[in-house]
Structure 1
C-alpha cells in the first residue's frame, strides 16, 4: 500500500515493547526475539482497517526509544494524527519517559491525539505490581485529555482495540472525513492522468 490516511507514531523508552505492539497489530503474531531488539531510527508498517463503510490505511512509524535518537525521532512524529505513547506497566522509569514524549507532542503537534499505552500486562497477571499505580496513571491521562489502554502484545490483549479506536476517533472529526474525500478525488484524477501519459508514451 502506498496511500496513508492516518499517520500514527509509536513513542516510548527502549524495550517497552513498541515493535512487538506493531508486529501484533500488523502481522497478528508475537515474536519473543523482538522484545530484545532496539529500533534504530524508525521502522514503518501500514495496515488497512475498516470502520463501518470507511476503509482507512494506518501508516505506523515505530521510533527508537534511546535518548541518543531523540532529535531524529522528532522528525518522524511531525504531522502525526495520533501518537501511541508506550510505557512498561511495571517500570516507573519508562512512565517518566512517556511523560517526556507527551510534553514534546503538546509542544510541536498540538492537534495530535495521544493514546497512553501500558504494555506487558501479561507480566502483571504473573504477579508484578503496576508502577506507578493504575489509578495514578488514569488521573494523569485524564489531565492530559488522552486515552489509556492496557495491552499485552504477547496475548494480543487490547492491541487491535486500541488501533481501532484510533481510526474511529479520526473519523469522528468531520474535517478529517472531508480531507479523505479530497484525497480520493485527487488520487482518482492522478490515476487518470497517469493512464493517459502511459498511453502517449507507448505511441
Structure 2
C-alpha cells in the first residue's frame, strides 16, 4: 500500500516547567489511519517569555497543545493567555489543552491546583479537547498525538490545503505556463 505523507505543524505552549518537553520526548511517531503522518512538533523549551518571537513560532500551526501542570495554578493562568493569543493570530488552529504531571497527584483530586471541572468547562467553551497526561507513566500521550492526527485528517479544509500543495508542486516541476500553454 502506498501511503501519503502529510506534515502537520503542532506547537507546544505553556508556562516554563509545565512539562512540554517531557511530553514530546515521550512521544514516538505513529502511522494513523493508513497515512504516514509527520507531526512537526515545535517545543519552545520555555522561550514563551519572548512573546514577539512566539507569534512567528506558531504561525501556520494546525494544532496547538497548551500545557499546564496539575500542581501549578500559575501554569493554568498561562493556558488562558495562550488561548487568547492563538485565537487572535491563528483562529483555525485546533487547540488541545493538556494537563501534565498527573502522576504527582496519583488520583487525589484534592491535590490539584485547578479543579477538573474548571478545565473541562474551559475546553468545552472553546471547543478544545482536554487530555490529562503523565510523561513519567506515558498516560494519554500517544492518545493526544493520535487525536491531533485524526482530527487533522477528518477536517475537510486540510484536505483542500493538501490538494493545493500538490497542485503547486506539480506546477513548479513543469515550469511556469504562460497564456495559451506556452512555457517560460
The alignment's TM-score, normalised by the length of structure 1, stands at: 0.75
Question: Which residue in 2 is equivalent to 1:139?
Answer: 121
Question: Which residue in 2 is equivalent to 1:34?
Answer: none
Q: For this pair of structures, how many residues does the alignment match? A: 170
Q: Structure 1 residues 163 and 175, CA, compared in 2 at 3 Å: closer, same or farther? A: same
Show the 5 A alignment for 1:1-203: 5-26=7-28, 47=29, 49-65=30-46, 68-125=49-106, 127=108, 129-184=111-166
Measured after TM superposition, the shift of residue 20 of structure 1 is 0.5
Query: Distance in 2 between the 1:56 and 1:191 partners?
Result: 24
Measured after TM superposition, the shift of residue 129 of structure 1 is 1.0
Q: Structure 1 residues 76 and 132, CA, compared in 2 at 3 Å: closer, same or farther? A: same
Measured after TM superposition, the shift of residue 68 of structure 1 is 3.2
What is the Cα-based RMSD across aligned positions, in Å? 2.3
Measured after TM superposition, the shift of residue 66 of structure 1 is 5.1
Residues 89-117 of structure 1: per-residue CA shift (max 9 Å, x gap): 11111000111011100111000000000
Where 2:111 maps in the other structure, the secondary structure is: coil
Query: Distance in 1 between the 2:122 and 2:33 partners?
Result: 32
**Which runs of at least 4 in structure 1 moved beyond 2 Å after TM superposition?**
64-68, 177-193
Uncovered stretches (5+) of structure 1, i.e. residues with no partner: 27-46, 194-203
Query: Distance in 1 between the 2:15 and 2:82 partners?
Result: 9
Task: Point out the more displaced range, 86-95 or 63-72.
Answer: 63-72
The alignment's TM-score, normalised by the length of structure 2, stands at: 0.83
Query: Distance in 2 between the 1:190 and 1:25 partners?
Result: 35
